[in-house]
Chain A
Amino acid sequence: MTAYYLILAGVILAMAFHGLMTRANLLRKLMALNIFTSAVFLFLVALARMAEPLDPIPHAMVLTGIVVTVSTTAVGLVLLLKLYRRTGSLTLQSADDD
C-alpha cells in the first residue's frame, strides 16, 4: 500500500511541476508550488509508514514543513496583491534585464 502512495506522490509532483512551469497566473503558480510541496510531504510520510515500526521523525519534519509553507505562502500572496495594485496584472513580465 505504501508503494502506491509513493507512486501517487510522484504523479502529483509531475503534475504540479507542469503547472508551475506552464501557468502564467501567479496565484496558480503559488497553488502549484503548494501542491508540489504537499507531494514531497506525502512522499516523506509514505516512507515513514514503510518503515517498521512506524517512524515518527518524518512526521515531525512534515509538520515543520507545513508551518514553513503556510508562512511562505502568506508572504507570496501579499507580494502578489502588491504587484497587482502596481501593474494591474497577475502575471510576471519575462525575466529580461533593462
Chain B
Amino acid sequence: MADWIPVVIIFGPLLAAVLVFTQTVRGVTATLVTGGILLIGLVALGGEVSGQGPWLTWQPGGWPVPLGLRWQADFFSVAMLAMTFLVAVSGGLFAIGFLPAAMPSAARHFWTLWLFTWAAMNSLLLAADLFNIYVGLELMALAAVGLISLTRETEALQAAMRYFLVTLFGSMLYLLGVALLYGQYGMLDQAALAAVIEHGLANGVAAVLMTLGLLVKTALFPVHFWLPSAHGKAPVPVSALLSAVVVAVCFFVMYRLWSGLFFVFLAERPAMVLGAIGLASILWGGMQALRQQRLKMIVAYSTIAQFGYVMLVFPVFVADGAAFLAWHGTAMMVLAHGLAKASLFFAAGCLSIAHGHDRIRELTGGGGRLGWVWLAFALAAASIVGLPPSGGFVGKWWLLQAAVLGEAWFWVVVMVLAALLTGSYMYRGLEAAWRPAPPVEAVRPVPAIMVAVTLFCAVGSVAMGFLAVPLEGFLGRTFQPLPIAGG
C-alpha cells in the first residue's frame, strides 16, 4: 500500500507552514505548491480507496495496534479531504486579493497559520487513534484562535478569547471521555475499541463526555454561543475556512465515533437527544439569522442552523427506513455546505470591500463585477436552502427520503420547516440584489481573483448535485465496519 499518501497529505501543509514561518518561502507560493502536491496525493488516495477499499489503514511508526497508532481512510474521508483542499486553496486565492486590501499588516502571519490549520484538519480526517485526535483538535483550535485574532481589532480579540476558552474546554471533556474508555479497555484505536465495547455506565459516560466536547466545537445549541462572533468578526477567508471546514471536521469526528465506536449505543433515546439538539440549533440559528442586519452575520448564524439539520441524521437513522440513505444524505450535505458556505462568506467579503461595509439595507447597486458576486451568492444560497439540482438539494432529499421511508413523520415536518426557515433568511440576504439601485454610489473595485473564486465555489456546490450518482456509488461501500487488523 502506498505509504506516502497520508504522510504527504498531513505533513505537506505542515512542512509548508514551517518553511513560511522561517521566511524561506513566500506564503502564497507555499500554499499553491502545497495545493499542487496535495492534489496528487488526493487523486492517488482516491484511486487506492476505490481500488482496495472500502477501508485503508496505515501504521505510522510501524507498531501494531494496541501499542502503535493508525491512520484510516474510506471514501467519506477522501471526499472531506477534497472539500478541505478546495476551500483551503480557494481561500488562499481569495486571500491574495483580500489581504492587501483589508489587512496588509497581518499578511505575514496569515499564511503560516493558514497552513497549520490545513495540516491539523487533514490529520483529524485521517486519525484513527482517539488520543491522536485530541492532539489534532488542539492544533486546529490554536491555529483557528490565531486566525480569528489576526485583525487585532477589539471585537475579533474578544471573539478569539471566547472561542479559545470554549474550544479548549471541549477538548478537555473529550479527553476525559477518552481516559474513561482507556480505563476500561486499555486501547485507543477506534476500530479496536468498537470491536469490544459494550453497554455499561462508564462507556456511556465516556460517550456523553466525548460527544459534548465535540458538540461544543461544532457549535450546536445550546453551546453554540461562541460561533457567530468568532466567524462573523474574523477576516473573510478565515470565516470561510472556519465555517465551511473546521466545524465540519469536528462534526466528522463525532460522526465517525457514532457510526463506529459508539454504534452500539445508537438506540432510540440517544438519537432523539441528538436530534433535539439539532432541532434547537435549526430554530435558534434560523431565528437569529432572520434578525441580523449584516450579511456576514446571517451567513455565520446559518452555520449553526445547517449543522443542526445535519444532526437530524441520528433520529432518522434509528427510524430504520433506509439507514444508508440517511448517512449518504449527511455526507452530501456536509460536503455541499462546505463549498456553499465558503462561497457565501467570499461573496460577503467582496461586497464589504466594494461598499466598505456589509449592512444589508445599504448593499444596493454595484453592477459590473458585483453582478457576478450576487450570482454566486444566489447559487450558493440555493445550495444551502436545498433547491434542485444543487448538492445541498441531493443531501437533503436523501435524508428526507430516509425519514419518509422510516415513517419518522415528526422529523419530516422538522426538515420541511427548516427548509422554509433557511429560505427566508437567505432571501433576506439576496433581497438587496434586486432592489432598484440609487443612481450614484461610489463602489470600490473588487479584485477579479476574489470574484472568480467566489463564483467557482458556488458553482462547485451546485455542480455537486450532478455528481450525486457516482458519489453515492462510492459512499455506498463506506459503511462497512473497519477491520481491526489492517495492514
Q: Are A and B in contact, CB atoms below 8 Å, in the complex?
A: yes
Contacts of B232 in A (CB 8 A): 97
Q: A43-B176, A61-B131 are in contact. Are A98 and B294 (CB under 8 A)?
A: yes
Contact of B162 among A43, A44, A61, A92 (CB under 8 A): A92
Structural contact, B164 and A76, CB atoms closer than 8 A: yes
B173-211 interface code vs A (CB 8 A; 1 in, 0 out): 001100100110010000000000000000000000000
Instruction: List residues of B (209-242) whose CB comes within 8 Å of A's CBs.
Output: 225-226, 228-229, 232
Number of A-B contacts (CB under 8 A): 85
Structural contact, A20 and B179, CB atoms closer than 8 A: no
Structural contact, B160 and A72, CB atoms closer than 8 A: no
Instruction: List residues of B (136-185) whose CB comes within 8 Å of A's CBs.
Output: 138, 141-142, 145-146, 149, 152, 154, 157-158, 160-162, 164-165, 168-169, 172, 175-176, 179, 182-183
Contacts of B165 in A (CB 8 A): 20, 29-30, 33, 76
Chain A residues touching B, majority SS: helix
- Interchain CA distance A65-B169 in the complex, whole Å: 14
Q: A92-B162, A98-B294 are in contact. Are A72 and B157 (CB under 8 A)?
A: no
- Interchain CA distance A48-B339 in the complex, whole Å: 44
Answer yes or no: A79 CB below 8 A from chain B CBs.
Answer: yes
Answer yes or no: B79 CB below 8 A from chain A CBs.
Answer: no
Contact of B175 among A20, A30, A40, A51 (CB under 8 A): A40
Q: How far is the CB of B30 from chain A (nearest CB, A)?
A: 23
Closest A-chain residue to B174, C-beta based? A40
Answer yes or no: A1 CB below 8 A from chain B CBs.
Answer: no
- Interchain CA distance A32-B71 in the complex, whole Å: 34
Closest A-chain residue to B149, C-beta based? A79
Contacts of B160 in A (CB 8 A): 79
Structural contact, A95 and B179, CB atoms closer than 8 A: no
- Interchain CA distance A40-B177 in the complex, whole Å: 10
In the assembled complex, 19 residue pairs joining A and B whose CB atoms fall closer than 8 Å, in A order, are A20-B165, A33-B168, A37-B172, A43-B176, A50-B183, A58-B179, A58-B182, A64-B135, A68-B138, A72-B141, A72-B142, A75-B145, A76-B164, A82-B149, A82-B157, A92-B158, A95-B162, A95-B225, A97-B301
